[in-house]
Structure 1
């Protein structure tokens, strides 16, 4: 059974600034510093580009699992799109055959953009009871952490 969920968040910074966080490993660093979703994020392979593999350890009790590995399968700096797929653990242990997240930074105007996060998943028929696990809570939290950081940095730059 295939499913898709999306979340959008408007941010009052240029799309290029938001992409500086999303298009690099900077987002992972922010998420660990924030401490609300991930206990630890390890880079197993790569430098943040396509093919990079991360091992993410979730905060205890935040999901139905504690660890998963994900691979960046697409990184398009021109279109500001990044895709990753869970390749081990996490949702795959719950009977999902695919769990993909796409982050898009969509330019609204010169001073604002939209962070669009889309999750696509496919679950085995015998594990269809787990279809309720995917939700937009985590991608919404990730977008909020990024937004807070970007707005704070913009305020600091304007004050300087």
Structure 2
């Protein structure tokens, strides 16, 4: 079985500024320095472009998610889309057979306003995909967007 969940939030900045963070390793440093739910975020391969692999170690006091590696499988600068896929541990250890996150930075008609959409796509047995939750992703998105709006990256 497969499924997906999406959320969109508005951020008070230009799409180019938002994309400059979401498309690069700046997003990793924002997550590492501003969120307490991670105790480790290390780039093990690559330089932030497609093919980069990050080792993520969640804080066991805040989540039951096991450590995992994610790969940047797509970074489309023209359409402002970044795709990350869990390649080891994490959601795969929980029984998902595929787990990916898609970040899209979308221009709006308002000046200095952008929409950021995050979609999680997943596959696995029915009982496993029933546990898919976008809430943690929303919290991360809120922190990243606050840092972008306030130039704290």
TM-score (normalised: structure 1): 0.89
Is the deviation greater in 30-39 or in 10-19? Answer: 30-39
Mapping of 1:62-73 within 5 angstroms?
Answer: 62-73=62-73
Structure 1: give runs of 5+ residues left out of the alignment. Answer: 155-160
Structure 2: give runs of 5+ residues left out of the alignment. Answer: none
Give the whole-Å Cα distance in 1 for the aligned partners of 2:148 and 2:94. Answer: 34
Counterpart in the other structure of 2:75:
75
Give the whole-Å Cα distance in 2 for the aligned partners of 1:50 and 1:122. Answer: 22
Does residue 60 of the first structure (1) align with residue 38 of the second (2)?
no
Residue 137 of structure 1 and its aligned partner are, at CA, apart by: 1.4
Residue 130 of structure 1 and its aligned partner are, at CA, apart by: 2.4
SS in structure 1 of the partner of residue 19 of structure 2 = helix
Q: How many positions carry a matched residue from both structures? A: 151
Residue 148 of structure 1 and its aligned partner are, at CA, apart by: 1.0
- RMSD of aligned Cα (Å): 1.5
Mapping of 1:141-160 within 5 angstroms?
Answer: 141-153=139-151
Residue 16 of structure 1 and its aligned partner are, at CA, apart by: 0.5
Is the deviation greater in 71-80 or in 131-140? Answer: 131-140
Instruction: Say if 2:102 and 2:119, in contact at 8 Å, map to a contact too.
Output: yes
Q: Which has the higher helix share?
A: 1
